[in-house]
């Protein structure tokens, strides 16, 4: 695998899926989905493309793998979009919740960063997402706006909002705050590359020689491809998702850390963290419930060899359920610490 030369795929998927909203993310079998051989080939190409694009500093593998398009970045507003395709859709045909959270996170972060130096490091402090219930299918377009900095605070903490639409209408809204931080010691930050759809062919990697982190990403992806080929299921749900252990009213999972889920300073990317929590929270309930809202507080960086995600139902009514989720990790000193605190609201499905 390390001897391959990376080139732009000759064809790209044109995605459009109109599946009914389901909650299948915590079922390992993936609801009966099996990727076709062309889809699996496309996923392999997309992983290699993400690795190749990630050699340009300033971004991270997750964003490059999703092929997010920076359609507009300005102090007036920001606009990012992505197409739902085989590499990022769940078993029900919808965009994976972690991928959705990445889109939301980046469109709101770009709105804050638009008025700052292009290489500015931002850390997500809080994020709130509200879902309309519409399917996350087709091309999802996010539009973000900056609303200034928190007054009276010692640090710069910017606030922004966003909406995400597809061709059918509103999919969701959100708000977030971001802290302006200095880069970690010894880390040089670069501007986030604002690539637009169709403007960036896959670059070649000289001699096809992969770096250690790139080999880890490729190995993780190929292991998942082998798994879904043998057992079925959606690639992205095993690549970024959780395999939760469910007990009545609770769910627990352990997620292996690695460069396939990291941000540009090596911590777990904020959108992926939120996606892990959301999937685990859904696993604490039956599939009669659909996720309707998320509120998250980012407490410390996602570090360590693995993260532990635990969810507990704190309210179970006839129409509404509320789940509390914590993501736990270990710091550089080896001590356990809380990474993320999340509350999710779930609506009982009609019919």
Element at 282 (helix H, strand E): helix 270-283
pLDDT at residue number 5: 36
1 lies in a domain?
Answer: no
140 within some domain: yes
**3 within domain boundaries:** no
- Residue 203 inside a domain? The answer is yes
Contact between residue 267 and residue 105 where contact means Cβ atoms under 8 Å apart: no
Per the CB < 8 A criterion, the answer to whether 201 and 8 are in contact is yes
Task: Determine, yes or no, domain membership for 2.
Answer: no
Residue for token pair 């990790």: 329
Domain for residue 295, yes or no? Answer: yes
CA 180 to chain centre: 21
How do residues 106-134 score in pLDDT, each as one tens digit? 999 999 999 999 999 999 999 999 999 99
Q: Residue 330 falls within a domain, yes or no?
A: yes
Report the phi/psi class of residue 158: left, alpha or beta, with left for phi > 0 and alpha for psi in -120 to 50: beta
Tens of pLDDT, residue by residue over 130-168, are 999 999 999 999 999 999 999 999 999 999 999 999 999
Residue 31 has what pLDDT? 52
Two structure tokens written together for 107: 């469109």
Residue-level pLDDT at 3 = 35
Q: Taking CA 330 as the corner, what is the angle to CA 295 and CA 297, rounded to the nearest 5 degrees?
A: 15
User: What pLDDT is stored for residue 323 in this prediction?
Assistant: 98
Secondary structure (DSSP) of 74-116: SSS-EEEEEE--TTTB-TTSSBPHHHHHHHHHHHHHHHHHTTS
**Total number of domains in the chain:** 1
Task: Identify which of 301, 346, 294, 288 has the alpha carbon closest to the alpha carbon of residue 321.
Answer: 346
16 inside domain: no
Domain residue limits at 123: 30-348
pLDDT in the model for residue 188: 85
Q: What is the pLDDT of residue 2?
A: 35
* Parts of the chain with a pLDDT under 50: 1-30
Q: In the prediction, which pLDDT does 23 show? A: 33
CATH number, residue 343:
2.40.160.210
Phi (first) and psi of residue 81, to 5 degrees:
-150, 160
């Amino acid at each position: 695998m390390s001897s391959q030369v990376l080139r732009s795929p000759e064809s790209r998927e044109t995605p459009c899926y109109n599946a009914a909203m389901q909650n299948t993310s915590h079922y390992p079998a993936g609801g009966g989905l099996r990727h076709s051989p062309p889809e699996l080939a496309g996923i392999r190409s997309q992983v290699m493309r993400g690795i190749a694009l990630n050699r340009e500093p300033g971004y991270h593998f997750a964003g490059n793998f999703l092929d997010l398009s920076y359609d507009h970045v300005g102090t007036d507003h920001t606009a990012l979009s992505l197409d739902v395709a085989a590499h990022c859709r769940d078993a029900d045909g919808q965009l994976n919740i972690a991928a959705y959270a990445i889109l939301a996170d980046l469109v709101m972060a770009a709105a804050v960063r638009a008025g700052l130096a292009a290489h500015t490091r931002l850390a997500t402090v809080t994020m709130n997402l509200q879902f309309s219930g519409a399917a996350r299918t087709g091309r999802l377009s996010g539009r973000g706006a900056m609303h200034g900095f928190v007054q009276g605070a010692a640090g710069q903490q910017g606030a922004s909002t966003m909406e995400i639409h597809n061709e059918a209408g509103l999919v969701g809204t959100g708000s977030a705050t971001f802290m302006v931080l200095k880069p970690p010691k010894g880390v040089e930050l670069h501007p986030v590359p604002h690539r637009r759809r169709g403007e960036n062919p896959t670059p070649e990697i000289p001699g096809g020689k992969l770096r250690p982190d790139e080999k880890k990403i490729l190995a993780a992806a190929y292991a998942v491809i082998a798994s879904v080929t043998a057992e079925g299921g959606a690639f992205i749900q095993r690549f970024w998702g959780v395999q939760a252990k469910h007990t009545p009213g609770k769910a627990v999972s352990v997620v292996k850390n690695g460069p396939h889920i990291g941000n540009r300073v090596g911590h777990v990317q904020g959108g992926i963290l939120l996606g892990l929590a959301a999937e685990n929270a859904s696993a604490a309930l039956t599939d009669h419930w659909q996720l309707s809202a998320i509120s998250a507080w980012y407490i410390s960086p996602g570090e360590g060899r693995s993260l532990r995600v635990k969810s507990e139902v704190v309210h179970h009514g006839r129409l509404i359920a509320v789940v509390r989720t914590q993501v736990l990790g270990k710091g550089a000193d080896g001590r356990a610490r809380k990474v993320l605190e999340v509350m999710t609201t779930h609506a009982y499905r009609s019919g």
